[in-house]
Amino acid sequence: MTTIFEPLTLKTNTTIKNRFVKAALSETLGNKNYQPTEQLISLYQAWANGGTGLLITGNVMVDPNARGEFGNIVIDRNQNFELLKKWAQAGTTNDTKIFMQLNHPGKQSPKTITKQPVAPSAVPMTGSNSFAFNSPRALTHTEIQQIIAKFVDAAVIAQKTGFSGVEIHAAHGYLLNQFLSPHDNQRTDEYGGSLENRMRIVTEIYQGIREKVGNDFPIALKINSSDFRPDGFSEEDSLKVIQKMDQMGIDLIEISGGNYENPKMQGIGKGAFFIDYAKKVKQTIKTPIIVTGGFNTANGMESAIKNDETDFVGLARPLVMVPDLPKQLKWGNFTSVKLNHLTTGSKKLDKKVGSLIGLSFYQQQMLRIAEDKKVQPTTNAWGALLFSLKHQGISALMPQRSKE
Ligand SMILES: Cc1cc2nc3c(=O)[nH]c(=O)nc-3n(C[C@H](O)[C@H](O)[C@H](O)COP(=O)(O)O)c2cc1C
């Protein structure tokens, strides 16, 4: 029987010292040149000291012209690499591994950031936050090739600067998820139509990266179990993409689900959301998987590993509230973490800014960890709202992600 503190060695000979993974959290701690700040580096030092085996960074953008939100880190060939090296160094202390998550937002880039977003097809965002996004234009065939090259360049930079691996972000409604989804992708060339075509951009990014980084550098994929919309990326499609990536030699598959129009990945207190799907996946592939979303008790985490329901437990918000959760669990000091619903006190206002609060509270707490302060659990949303206003100005009140 496997325990949560047992190491696991990936195909590419990288050993993760235990089964805890910090899932990606957009830290919004980039400076105005989209480079890591000292605070971002301290935050990863704190997580590395806290005993997690693998840290996956918040989404790093591969194209300076396509950013998802304020404070993103952007990989650009002209960048000064020293700060990236320091970030990787902090994330690899204490025998920890750090993977850089690579992303392109596609049309999920708010109008406060991108005047003319791009997408597989000119299909506008839907849902109550759609007013915050300009309608996208369809990418040309040449632009798709350029985006693939940007993912590959970014992975090469991650390798050069000392990151232990990369994760391709194909979940949560961003560009690669848009390609996978028949709702968003209505192309008639070889990047649209059949599932094989819709997944082509993902397989080409994977192959492109693998050719450049060699066989000793792990590549992970974050993918939705489903988009949870009738005309979106289905569970059946997701399973086929995972099987294909398994055959192609991917090192790790992280399972999440939903998007910001239908945020199934961020419930509170419902247990691990995607564990049933993960069980199906595990029966059909050899690649280790990470299940992320909803773990909040020691029991839940330990039994998911013991029962072989997943190879790794992905934790995002719990590792903000308890940055040294693995260490505490080891010493018997952790039983569960409570994630609060935050409220402004007005139901009407909560409805308008609820998705912003859910992100900004955790961003506020990550900055506190970076500054060596204690996290502050609360149910009062005003501190998080003021934090966003202070750091981003009035544009903070414009949604940066979609919502139904
Ligand atoms: C503030 C915040 C930022 C996030 N940023 C990212 C991101 O950059 N990339 C990503 O794949 N998921 C991101 N997520 C989603 C988490 O990785 C995770 O899938 C989700 O929070 C569910 O896991 P949990 O229940 O352990 O928090 C973010 C979540 C939060 C709360």
Helices (H) and strands (E) in the chain, counts: 13, 14
Look at residue 154 and tell me if it is in a domain.
Answer: yes
- Structure tokens given for 399: 């949604």
Nearest CA to ligand 1 atom 1: 359
Strands 97-103 and 165-170 turn out to be parallel
- Which of 92, 100, 95 shows the shortest CA–CA distance to 45? 92
Look at residue 33 and tell me if it is in a domain.
Answer: yes
Strands 8-9 and 15-16 turn out to be antiparallel
pLDDT at position 378: 94
For residue 125, the cross-strand partners are none
For the stretch 123-152, pLDDT in tens is 999 887 888 899 999 999 999 999 999 999
Write out residues with Cβ below 6 Å of ligand 1.
23-26, 58-59, 101, 169, 171-172, 222, 256, 265-266, 292-295, 315-318, 359, 362-363
CA–CA distance, 98 with 166 (Å, rounded to integer)? 8
Q: For residue 296, what are the domain limits?
A: 8-332
C-alpha of residue 139 to centroid of ligand 1, in Å: 27
Look at residue 339 and tell me if it is in a domain.
Answer: no
Planar angle of CA 215, 13, 51, nearest 5 degrees: 130
pLDDT at position 267: 73
Look at residue 21 and tell me if it is in a domain.
Answer: yes
pLDDT at position 258: 67
Query: Residue 138 carries which DSSP code?
Result: E
pLDDT at position 403: 62
C-alpha of residue 350 to centroid of ligand 1, in Å: 20
For residue 222, what is the domain's CATH number? Answer: 3.20.20.70
Find the mean pLDDT for residues 323-350: 95
CA–CA distance, 133 with 110 (Å, rounded to integer)? 5
Look at residue 125 and tell me if it is in a domain.
Answer: yes
For the stretch 176-193, pLDDT in tens is 999 999 999 999 999 999
Look at residue 243 and tell me if it is in a domain.
Answer: yes
C-alpha of residue 24 to centroid of ligand 1, in Å: 5
Query: Residue 369 carries which DSSP code?
Result: H
Percent of the chain predicted with pLDDT > 70? 95
Give the chain's domain count. 1
pLDDT at position 131: 87
| C-alpha 268 chain-centroid distance | 18
- Which of 326, 310, 308 shows the shortest CA–CA distance to 318? 326
Find the mean pLDDT for residues 335-363: 90
Look at residue 384 and tell me if it is in a domain.
Answer: no
For the stretch 195-211, pLDDT in tens is 999 999 999 999 999 99
C-alpha of residue 316 to centroid of ligand 1, in Å: 6
- Structure tokens given for 364: 């506020």
- Mean pLDDT of the chain, nearest integer: 93
CA–CA distance, 334 with 329 (Å, rounded to integer)? 5
Whether residue 268 is predicted with pLDDT greater than 60 in this model: the reply is yes
Look at residue 240 and tell me if it is in a domain.
Answer: yes
Find the mean pLDDT for residues 81-86: 96
Question: What is the DSSP secondary-structure string of 253-299?
Answer: EEEE--BTTB-GGG-SSS--TTHHHHHHHHHH--S-EEEES---BHH
C-alpha of residue 99 to centroid of ligand 1, in Å: 15
Specify the ligand 1 atom closest to the Cα of 171.
Answer: 11
